[in-house]
Structure 1
């Protein structure tokens, strides 16, 4: 670990093999934020005015309907705080949408329930076929790829869009935000979850399940067809006003007896295992570096504080052992079989058929149109 070169401004380092540094040792993640993201990110009166305009349109278009928008909720801080603000500050009437992929942490379920109860909202839960989810996750484990969480992520996105399309809901509220996510996971760590060429190749090699009900959706379908043909808009309100995560967590705890997950994305037991143990131990990728660097760049944490956090593993050795056994049992395999997948050679998306060139072209077009600002991925 001593051979790693670490950015002098954040905590990203050469475990991102594509990282570059300027003459002062500042990484390209930081430079991208400073040059391309920050100048176009408005959380002042300009952002507030734009959000008020968007909210007014959502309300107008939702007149006479049971809901004026739909919002996916995981039980984590971002989606929970967004729900609070959307209802109590802006008076929106969202249908709260939750996708159960079989791995919900107890605290996440608690958080969802206490909030919809106090806010008097309706919750719709879509349960993914467990046999299909299990097979898909095993497929990724067998592949040797880093991002074994694609089966959950893909289902969450596809199901939400499908529901909005089916019931003609024009607006999807999304908790994604620049404040806590301005640094992106490197592509080699978390490859695109909607690359259907990759998914089809993996299923052909490692799966026998026909996956008749799993909600597959290509990037062209939800990035282009549903957004521009079906006119389904994704709105990220947290980008239009100051969002300080620590303050949001305190408010949620005080108002709703909300329970903070130990780490971002730990609302899922599988994601906790994957980001807390599998990625750092098998591949050397610690997603906390991305998360903490985002907080550093948005002045919510100091670099020294982040370095101190990174000295301790995301989950303890004892918890990791328990999680390893839990995941193996739930997937219907032995601990030895899961260990075999852990010990097999690591691979990248380039070892399989993929559509990387299409994603790169799409990103260039989005930047040209002014929809996407960051160039780093």
Structure 2
């Protein structure tokens, strides 16, 4: 199958990172720097302190978590996937800051053995408690198929939505005031464009796509829209999100090496590839069907934070995300697990490309809500 051209703009690539016109809204300044690079230097870097200053800024929150947790078995909640970010924040929460987290995992049916092994090693070695929420597979499969049939880039939305909705719903139900996440600027300062990866929290879109292409009611599937967790859970239930990795030195390769040495943790080929489905989605579906390669954003983040040279990133991005043999194996695996033949999945991939704009969505309200949160100081005004 031939790569699709995402837009008709003349091709251009940033002279500082490797983001390019596969993002149809990207723009460049007179130096050839893209808006992602300018956003990093103008908005993120001046407010980001991954050093002693950042740790001192975090300590009052750590003490508040401990106070809130007195008399409880656990003082905070951490979602874990088995990837480096969530694994490392779990490690430092217990070992560096002396917290007593409950580790929360969502099994949406796509766990790789590698991810499962990583989680088990952390839990066992750190003496932590693990709560696993298993999503009903028939509902998950039906919703996943609906997104495939909708022909949108963001077929990972059902899995992502299940992850965050289950965790926030659990936190609110059991009165957890703090959720720690592995989100960080170090490896994620370049955000993927909406056309590549639309908001998984847009419940209106999820339900619209399911109503058009799904067959089974979502009776038990975890659901929560962006307003519920950003407004109701935040201001009524008092659930706060903390991102510790933004307050300490966090370098991806060094963090993985530390996890390997400390726990026998297993490395994986690329960010998010601890999930076999996500590997297929990011490494094959997006670049082959739409011309979007998420590695551009991932590598560009590492370039900006000094963890990867631009020359090395260009070499890496010129190579396929993974081998033809593995692609064929994953293609058959994904098709079979979704009760499709390989030919049926190929037919879906050959169908007309759609975007989030082709279905009902809450972007108008999301934009408005973001402006309100920024106005009251809850959310920092960082573009992209």
TM-score normalised according to structure 2 size = 0.96
| Pick aligned residue for 2:170 from 136, 154, 163 | 163
CA-atom RMSD in angstroms: 1.3
Per the alignment, residue 82 of structure 2 pairs with: 75
**Quick check: 1:184–1:376 contact (8 Å CA) kept in 2?**
no
Cα deviation code 1:77-97 (max 9, x no counterpart):
011111111111111000111
Per the alignment, residue 333 of structure 2 pairs with: 326
Q: CA deviation at 1:375?
A: 3.9
Per the alignment, residue 255 of structure 2 pairs with: 248
Q: Could you tell me how far apart the structure 1 residues matched to 2:106 and 2:211 are?
A: 26
Paired residues for 1:75-94 under 5 Å? 75-94=82-101
- Aligned-partner SS, 2:241: strand
Per the alignment, residue 192 of structure 2 pairs with: 185
Query: Aligned pair in 2 of structure 1 residues 366, 33: CA closer, same or farther (>3 Å)?
Result: farther
Query: Aligned pair in 2 of structure 1 residues 299, 101: CA closer, same or farther (>3 Å)?
Result: same
Query: Are residues 1:229 and 2:236 paired?
Result: yes
Q: CA deviation at 1:372?
A: 3.4
**Quick check: 2:44–2:382 contact (8 Å CA) kept in 1?**
no
Paired residues for 1:134-283 under 5 Å? 134-283=141-290
TM-score normalised according to structure 1 size = 0.97
Q: CA deviation at 1:171?
A: 0.8
User: What residue ranges of structure 1 are gaps of 5+ in the alignment?
Assistant: none
Query: Are residues 1:316 and 2:323 paired?
Result: yes
Per the alignment, residue 290 of structure 1 pairs with: 297
Q: Could you tell me how far apart the structure 1 residues matched to 2:22 and 2:239 are?
A: 37
**Quick check: 1:292–1:306 contact (8 Å CA) kept in 2?**
yes
Q: Could you tell me how far apart the structure 2 residues matched to 1:362 and 1:179 are?
A: 26
Q: Could you tell me how far apart the structure 2 residues matched to 1:373 and 1:256 are?
A: 36
Comparing 308-317 with 194-203, greater Cα deviation is found at 194-203
Q: Could you tell me how far apart the structure 2 residues matched to 1:373 and 1:183 are?
A: 16
**Quick check: 1:71–1:174 contact (8 Å CA) kept in 2?**
yes
Q: Could you tell me how far apart the structure 2 residues matched to 1:138 and 1:51 are?
A: 42
Q: CA deviation at 1:374?
A: 5.4
| Pick aligned residue for 2:349 from 342, 352, 355 | 342
Q: CA deviation at 1:3?
A: 5.7
